[in-house]
A = this chain, B = another copy of it.
Amino acid sequence: MRINVKECAQILKEQDNILILTHAHPDGDTLGSGFGLCRALLKLGKKARVVCADEIPDKYLCIFKELEMPEFEEDYIVAVDVATENLLGDLCDKYKGKIDLCIDHHRSNSDYAKYLVLDSDAAAACETILEIVKELGVEIDSAIADCLFTGISTDTGCFKFASTTANTYRAAAELVDFGADNGKINRIMFDTKTKTYAAIESLALEGMQFFCDERICVITITQDMYEKTGAKEYETEAISPLTRQIEGVEIGLTIREKANGECKCSIRTFESVDASELAAFFGGGGHKQASACVFNCSVEEAKARLVAKCEEILK
């Protein structure tokens, strides 16, 4: 059942022993939503705790780690920034069908929870969490503000993506007023590279290839490159956007060889090409301008198949 922010706050006020679930492979928005809401509920004197199927990546630790969360038997289960239950990862089996409330901003939300607050115009779930926290009557402190600012900033590429609305900038202003350390957060999220990432990024850029009058740009990342640089697989998520930054490129492909021999291809496009259709042709999926698919073949073969299909689309 769809509810609004006011109804959601009313429901939360009536509950206690609240477990908050984030999605697996957590990003800034699901973590910011989870920890921001948790801190607000704790300030109301409730018991609340955030759980995630996967480890929190290092760069988020200084923002989210300091919260001491009580142990309890959960009475109420909330999922934040989780579009479908299977995105809960290893927590899916345990909580599938049991989620009381979902707060999300993905248009594709599968409406799996008893109650759903969904604002698909929001650039980040944290925008909606901010409204809920205000509605709860909690005084927003700098720790809550840092959580929510992190979610908004990371989900908008530091306020860069076209998804960023006037409301997004207004929420950021409000959070800075509440004490969010925007300069520090943005530096950690957007201006800090590990040495191993910098090394593999350099190799990746060196090997960048162009096809079809330079309208297609391809970066390949092999297991050999991970070994050479010491970079971890999850670090190279940040490479995909680089393929689309080159002037004139309409389709950017990043093909990453995985340890199990599969190849994962991230597709980035502009308005002219539907990335989700391209991915679907190879059994994958995603959004219009960002999608992904997986191949059970060598990097070179995956590249040949992808480029051939892209050339067909561009003609």
Task: For A168, list chain B residues within 8 Å (CB).
Answer: 173
Q: How many copies does the complex hold?
A: 2
Residue A120 lies at the interface, judged by CB distance under 8 Å to chain B: no
Contact in complex: A167, B173 (CB < 8 Å): yes
Q: A208's contact among B174, B198, B214, by CB below 8 Å, is which?
A: B198
CB A226 to nearest CB in B, in angstroms, measures 17
Contact in complex: B191, A164 (CB < 8 Å): no
Q: CB-nearest residue of chain B relative to A191? A: B245
Q: A198's contact among B160, B166, B173, B245, by CB below 8 Å, is which?
A: B245
Residue A258 lies at the interface, judged by CB distance under 8 Å to chain B: no
Q: CB-nearest residue of chain B relative to A164? A: B182
**Given A158-B158, A187-B162, A202-B206, A245:B169 Cβ within 8 A:** no
Task: For A214, list chain B residues within 8 Å (CB).
Answer: 195
CA–CA, A173 and B172, complex, Å: 10
Contact in complex: B246, A193 (CB < 8 Å): yes
Residues of A52-102 contacting chain B, CB below 8 A: none
CB A168 to nearest CB in B, in angstroms, measures 8
Interface string of A153-181 (1 = CB under 8 A from B): 00000111111111111101110110000
Contact in complex: A205, B202 (CB < 8 Å): yes
Q: CB-nearest residue of chain B relative to A176? A: B166
Task: For A192, list chain B residues within 8 Å (CB).
Answer: 245, 247
Among A159, A191, A241, chain B packs the most CB atoms within 10 A around the CB of A159
Contact in complex: A193, B162 (CB < 8 Å): no
**Given A195-B246, A202-B206, A205-B205, A160:B186 Cβ within 8 A:** yes
Residue A272 lies at the interface, judged by CB distance under 8 Å to chain B: no
Residue A257 lies at the interface, judged by CB distance under 8 Å to chain B: no
Among A173, A174, A210, A245, chain B packs the most CB atoms within 10 A around the CB of A173
Task: For A176, list chain B residues within 8 Å (CB).
Answer: 164-166, 169
Q: CB-nearest residue of chain B relative to A183? A: B162
Residue A281 lies at the interface, judged by CB distance under 8 Å to chain B: no
26 contacts between A and B (CB under 8 A): A158-B158, A158-B159, A159-B172, A160-B186, A160-B191, A162-B182, A162-B187, A164-B176, A164-B183, A164-B186, A165-B176, A166-B177, A168-B173, A191-B244, A191-B245, A193-B246, A193-B247, A195-B210, A195-B214, A195-B246, A195-B247, A195-B248, A198-B245, A202-B205, A202-B208, A205-B205
Interface positions of A (Cβ within 8 A of B): 158-170, 172-174, 176-177, 182-184, 186-187, 190-195, 198, 201-202, 205-206, 208, 210, 214, 241, 244-248
